[in-house]
Amino acid sequence: MRFEKSTSDNYTTIKLLDSKLDTRNASDLKGEFVVLNTEGSRYLILNMSEVSYVDSTGLSSILVGNRLCKRDGGLLVLCCLTPFVEKLIKISQLDSVLSILPTEDEAREAVFMHVLENQIEEEEEESAQTADEEVPASDN
C-alpha cells in the first residue's frame, strides 16, 4: 500500500495513494496502524481521496485502526471519501461506528476538539481526586 504520512504534535495523517484498498494491500494499512499505535499515536486522520474501491478486508483494516485509537482514548477520522467508498460504508452501516468528515481540515478540527475534551476530563478527574483527599475525616 502506498501512502503519505505526516505527523504533528497531536495527530498523524495518512493519505492513501492507491485507488484500491483490498486484500492485496489492506494488511499493509493494518500493520501501519499497529506500528503507529505502538509508537503512541492515538489520533489518526485517514485521507481516502484517492481510494475509489474498498472491499471487506479494507474495511476490516480501517476498523482495526479505529479500535486501536479508541482503546487508548484517541480518535480515527476518515476524510475525503469518494462516492463509492462513502456509499459502501453507509450500506455496511459503519458510518455509525466510524468518524467521517468531508475534508481534512474538518478532520483536524475534530481531532483538536477530542484532544481538548480529553484534557478537560483529565483535569476534572484530577480536581475531584484532590478534593476527595482534602476532605477531613470526621471524628465520629
Task: Indicate which CATH number applies to the domain containing 47.
Answer: 3.30.750.24
The answer to whether residue 96 sits within a structural domain is yes
| pLDDT averages per 10-residue partition of the chain, 140 residues | 92 98 97 96 97 97 98 97 97 97 98 94 86 63
Q: What is the pLDDT of residue 44?
A: 98
Q: What is the pLDDT of residue 125?
A: 86
Q: What is the DSSP string of 23-90?
A: TTTHHHHHHHHHHHHHTT--EEEEE-TT--EE-HHHHHHHHHHHHHHHHTT-EEEEES--HHHHHHHH
Q: What is the pLDDT of residue 135?
A: 56
Q: Torsions phi, psi of 37, nearest 5?
A: -65, -45
The answer to whether residue 102 sits within a structural domain is yes
Which residue segment(s) compose the domain that 17 sits in? 3-133
Q: Do 88 and 55 form a contact (C-beta atoms < 8 A)?
A: no
DSSP 136: P
The answer to whether residue 140 sits within a structural domain is no
The answer to whether residue 46 sits within a structural domain is yes
Cell of 28: 499493509
In angstroms, rounded to a whole number, what is the distance separating the alpha carbons of residues 29 and 58? 8
The answer to whether residue 105 sits within a structural domain is yes
In angstroms, rounded to a whole number, what is the distance separating the alpha carbons of residues 116 and 118? 5
Q: What is the pLDDT of residue 133?
A: 72
The count of domains in the chain is 1
The answer to whether residue 123 sits within a structural domain is yes
Instruction: State pLDDT tens for residues 102-139.
Output: 999 999 999 999 999 999 988 988 888 877 776 565 55
The answer to whether residue 38 sits within a structural domain is yes
